[in-house]
Amino acid sequence: MGFPVMRVRERFPSLAVRDEGRERVYLDNPAGTQVPQTVVGAIGDYFLNHSSNSGGMFATSQATDRIAETAHEDMALFLGAASAREVVIGQSMTSLTFHLSRSICRDFQPGDEIVITRMEHEGNVGPWLEVAKEKGLRIIWVDFDRETWQVRPEDLAEVLSDRTRLVALNYASNMTGAINDVRTLAEVAHEADALVYVDAVQLAPHHLVDVQELGCDFLACSSYKFFGPHMGIVWGRETLLTELHPYKGRCVTDELPGRFEAGTPQYELLAGLSATVAWFEELGRMSGGTGSRRDLIAQAYAAAREHEEAMTLQLIAGLQALDGVTVYGITDPARVGERVPTVSFRHARVKPLEIATALGGQGIFVWHGHNYAWEPARALELPLDEGVVRIGLAQYNTTEEVTRVVDAVAAAIAGG
């Protein structure tokens, strides 16, 4: 059964929105995806029927408690976590990482080391740099390989020492799209007794996450990148989350995950988060899947992935056929499974801003700039004020849209 892309598109109302009669082509997905009607409905339903705060002895408050609990359970299922106690939900991946980094590094000593890869988005860099400054920790960088675009286990092993306390590791790059072999890298880090904090923000929209199989200690993602509301989620191993000092008010619960979720949560978005997980289950069924909820989610990813990989190959081939275009990332069709469908490129003469502006003017939404992939951009010696053009595909895009964007890039280059 082929991927039912047109049926998928019908579930996302914003895909049908037109600007003065013109269709929109959403290829800005790595910065945020569109959401299915069911997510919009769940958020609206919360405000219409359940809006309250937690812990009261009345209907709306009891519903609110149930919604918050269910969202944590659904995310535990989605990430393959052992329990909902391991799932901390907050404003964004970046804000959660700043918050948790303070707890994680609380007992680190001056001279202890944090290893950060050059593949990271700033969300998995800034928090560690700040805490390192405060506590006198050393930051050690590990580069990615220019041929594979991935961090090599042997390069990580080389920078580890008996002072390494934590490794900040990118799962999939928001610039090059390359996917790291996190399982092997986590094993290498653990041999040095270091904790592993994985940024799965760009992986989660495209591949099933299984935190237990990965063997990392923390894993962060953002639901607005996988068809949900603007929120961040961090999974942490229960033993660690229990031991860590939580920064919270005195009368806030000491139970997990509440001890790391001080303040009033965005309840309406938690309702939307459960609807997001339900969307993956529905997509699994639409793609012919059966079995448990987790089986359906896995089948949704498998079906979408095949569709996305075919479009990725079409996009890369189309861009590479244009004179003067350099794609930054894996281009070998045999290795398409080692990347997510985020394709960044530059042209020898026409600047990213000019190309993105030309495309935007035709209703084709793409990003330009460094996109907070500041370290990868610096590692590749790209002009930071220019960056790249980034085309990011998602499950609801079509081969026709890929043809359109390639043609539009060709025209922008010819006219630039």
Indicate which single residue of 29, 34, 38, 94 sits in contact with ligand PLP (rule: CB under 6 A).
94
Nearest to 204 by CA among 30, 413, 380, 11: 30
What's the min distance (Å) between Cβ of 233 and ligand PLP?
9
Indicate which single residue of 15, 89, 93, 104 sits in contact with ligand PLP (rule: CB under 6 A).
93
**Rg, the chain, Cα only:** 21
What's the min distance (Å) between Cβ of 116 and ligand PLP?
13
Residue nearer to ligand PLP on the CB measure, 3 or 260: 260
What's the min distance (Å) between Cβ of 173 and ligand PLP?
7
Indicate which single residue of 72, 118, 121, 307 sits in contact with ligand PLP (rule: CB under 6 A).
121
Stretch of residues binding ligand PLP (CB under 6 A), selected from 9-17, 86-94, 130-138, 180-188: 86-94
Residue nearer to ligand PLP on the CB measure, 23 or 98: 98
| Binding flag, residue 199, ligand PLP (CB under 6 A) | yes
| Binding flag, residue 177, ligand PLP (CB under 6 A) | no
Helix-helix angle 126-135:93-104, to 10 degrees: 30
| Binding flag, residue 92, ligand PLP (CB under 6 A) | yes
What's the min distance (Å) between Cβ of 93 and ligand PLP?
3
What's the min distance (Å) between Cβ of 134 and ligand PLP?
21
Stretch of residues binding ligand PLP (CB under 6 A), selected from 5-13, 34-42, 90-98, 375-383: 90-98
> Which positions from 335 to 374 touch ligand PLP by CB under 6 A, shown as an x/- string?
-------------------------------------x--
Indicate which single residue of 201, 269, 393, 413 sits in contact with ligand PLP (rule: CB under 6 A).
201
Contacts to ligand PLP by CB under 6 A = 30-31, 92-94, 121, 123-124, 174, 199, 201-202, 222, 232, 372
